[in-house]
Structure 1
Amino acid sequence: MRKLILCAFILLSLKSFAQQTEQDAIKQTISTMFNAMRKGDSTMLRSTFAKGIVFQGVASKKDGKVSLETENPDDFIKMVGTPHKGVYDERVTFADIKIDGPLASVWAPYKFYLDDKYSHCGVDVFQLMKTNDGWKIIYIVDTRRKDNCPE
């Protein structure tokens, strides 16, 4: 009986360890994306994205209506890689990571700074896919606002 309990404990520990390792790899992919933004490195940025990535934003209009805006990922990559004033510094907190085999979903509140000057905040939601080259971002949707920032 003790051997059976010990085996069950070991198997549960291994599963927990594997889950944590996958979460670390997912966080690393997203962190690499933000490091690329800070460095202005479009090659590094593109390496975190899967082919066909989708960018969207949920925006509140002045009239109170909410809209879904789709952005061109190539425009974003070009903007990051084009010399510009200031450092794009998006600071995230990994609030929740869910994994089901090769699919992961990440909820990440953020605050965005240009250099050290606060610009806006919101939540990034990432969908990632595990590929032969590791975890790649396949979808990003976010919110943006100036106040009521998540902590």
Structure 2
Amino acid sequence: MRFFYFFLIFSIGFTGFSQSKEDSAKAMVQAFFKAFHEQDSVKLKTYAFEDVQLKSIAKNAKGKMVINTDSYEEFVKSMTTIPAEVDFEERLGLLEVQTDGYLANVWVPYEFYLNGELSHCGVNNFQLIYTDKAWKIISIVDTRKKQACQD
């Protein structure tokens, strides 16, 4: 009987300290952006699942909505080619996370600054899959607006 109580208390202790799936999904996206700002291609590659695509939704010069698609590999490669004298920063808003077992959706507004000037803003939407006790990116869709970011 003492073993049972010990096991129960031991289990409750670990449950209280374990990170929820929502928290771990949020932490993974935050780690992604840390690696993004550090231009760390090795870390960025570890966050991806198979065949990740990035899609950006924006208005073209004629005001028509368009979707641009890029591979995650091209994105990672492009990060390594940004010159050191170019200062970029993606400032994140509040991350909202929804999970359902092995699927998570992370929604985060952002403002993107290039050399200290606001370049564009929008929302990043990460779709994640939970595998091998870690979240991996299966898709990223973002919106890009040049006008005021309160729209």
TM-score by length of 2: 0.79
Q: 1: distance between equivalents of 2:111 and 2:61?
A: 21
How much identity, in percent, do the aligned residues show?
A: 36
State the SS of the aligned residue for 1:57. Answer: strand
Separation in 1, partners of 2:29, 2:65: 27
Aligned match of 1:91: 91
SS in 1 for 2:135: strand
Structure 1 counterpart of 2:60: 61
Deviating beyond 3 angstroms after TM superposition, the runs of 4 or more aligned structure 1 residues are: none
Q: Which stretch shifts more, 82-91 or 35-44?
A: 82-91
The count of residues paired between Structure 1 and Structure 2 equals 137
Amino acid at match of 2:61: K
> What does 1:26-65 align with in structure 2 at a 5 Å threshold?
26-65=25-64
Q: Secondary structure at the match of 1:63?
A: coil
- Give the superposition deviation at 1:40: 1.2
TM-score (norm 1): 0.79
Q: Which runs of 5+ in 1 are unaligned?
A: 1-13
**Using the alignment, how far apart are the partners of 1:94 and 1:135 within structure 2?**
19
Letter in 2 for 1:78: K
The 5 Å alignment of 1:2-151 reads 21-84=20-83, 85-150=85-150
Contact kept, 8 Å, 1:109 with 1:150, in 2: the verdict is no
RMSD: 2.5
